[in-house]
């Protein structure tokens, strides 16, 4: 996954510097004012310049295939346990991955909120049911507001549902003059879109 064109472009957007130190993708003293503090177009980086490559609007980020309305498990990796609340959002139907992610692209309310889940074997595993009515590519956006520290963590997970939305159908044929993002040398390590701590989705069968 880290060798994908989107991930290489993310490294290039950071001046060729490998993205890392994922525990630093956090913002202090947000106090629940996420929409006021984190600017539109910078949701995946948390507005932090060191992670700006994660904000690149692309339709080829590696994505996990999911089923709308189905149950799944969110696996959020962490090396240190913290108390806090997870809020999970999904982009609205009609979202286009070729445009910068904004707060208005997300449902106004999280589809799941979980307080103080247990950290087991290096990860928080949170069962949930996805919203219905989605086709094509979307972003699962996770906000983790710590209560044991002043920090809030942000992460984007790219997911794909069967079919294609109208907005993505229009975006599927870009102008011929459009050029690809520059890429670093092939030997340069590249990041996944989802950092560590990272929100990685895994489907789970419905009961």
Beta bridge partners of 119: 124
Q: Classify burial at 120, counting beta carbons within 10 Å of its beta carbon; exposed 0-12, middle 13-18, buried 19 or more.
A: exposed
pLDDT band with cut points at 50, 70 and 90 for residue 2: low
Contact call for residues 53 and 11 (beta carbons, < 8 A) = yes
Query: Who wins on pLDDT, 66 or 177?
Result: 66
pLDDT of residue 24: 85
**Residue 165 predicted with pLDDT over 60:** no
Q: What is the pLDDT of residues 112-163, one digit of tens each?
A: 999 999 999 999 999 999 999 999 999 999 999 999 999 999 999 999 999 7
User: pTM value?
Assistant: 0.79
pLDDT of residue 10: 86
Joined tokens for residue 76: 């959020």
Give domain limits for the chain. 5-171+186-203
Most confident of 47-61, 125-139, 185-199: 125-139
- Residue 177 backbone class (left: φ over 0; alpha: ψ -120 to 50; beta: rest): alpha
CA 119 to chain CA centroid, Å, is 20
**Which runs of consecutive H residues, i.e. helices, occur in 14-148?**
34-37
DSSP letter at 106 equals B
Q: What is the pLDDT of residues 23-50, one digit of tens each?
A: 888 999 999 999 999 999 999 999 999 8
**Residue 98 predicted with pLDDT over 90:** yes
**Residue 11 predicted with pLDDT over 90:** no
Class of domain 5-171+186-203: mainly beta
Mean pLDDT confidence for 161-177 = 50
Q: In terms of Cα–Cα distance, which of 128, 101, 99, 103 is closest to 114? A: 128
Whether residue 44 has a cis bond before it, omega within 30° of 0 = no
What phi and psi values does residue 171 have, to the nearest 5 degrees?
-80, -10
User: Tokens 């490559």 identify what position?
Assistant: 53
Mean pLDDT confidence for 189-207 = 43
Q: Are strands 64-65 and 151-161 parallel, antiparallel or unpaired?
A: parallel
Query: Who wins on pLDDT, 153 or 170?
Result: 153
Mean pLDDT confidence for 82-109 = 97
Residue 8, CA distances (Å) to 54, 107, 160, 199 in order: 11, 30, 21, 20
Contact call for residues 9 and 53 (beta carbons, < 8 A) = yes
**Residue 188 predicted with pLDDT over 50:** no
Mean pLDDT confidence for 88-113 = 97
């Amino acid at each position: 996954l880290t060798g994908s064109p989107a991930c290489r472009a993310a490294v290039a957007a950071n001046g060729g510097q490998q993205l890392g130190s994922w525990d630093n993708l956090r913002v202090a003293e947000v106090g629940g004012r996420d929409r006021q503090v984190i600017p539109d177009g910078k949701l995946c980086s948390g507005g932090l310049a060191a992670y700006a490559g994660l904000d690149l609007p692309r339709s080829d980020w590696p994505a996990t295939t999911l089923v709308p309305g189905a149950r799944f498990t969110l696996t959020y990796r962490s090396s240190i346990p913290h108390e806090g609340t997870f809020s999970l959002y999904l982009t609205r139907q009609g979202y286009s991955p070729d445009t910068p992610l904004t707060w208005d692209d997300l449902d106004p309310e999280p589809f799941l909120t979980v307080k103080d889940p247990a950290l087991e074997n290096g990860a928080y595993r949170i069962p949930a049911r996805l919203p219905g009515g989605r086709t094509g590519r979307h972003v699962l956006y996770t906000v983790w507001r710590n209560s044991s520290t002043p920090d809030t963590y942000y992460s984007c997970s790219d997911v794909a549902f069967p079919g294609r939305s109208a907005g993505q159908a229009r975006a599927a044929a870009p102008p011929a003059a459009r050029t690809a993002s520059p890429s670093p040398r092939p030997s340069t390590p590249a990041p996944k879109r989802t950092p560590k701590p990272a929100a990685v989705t895994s489907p789970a069968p419905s009961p």
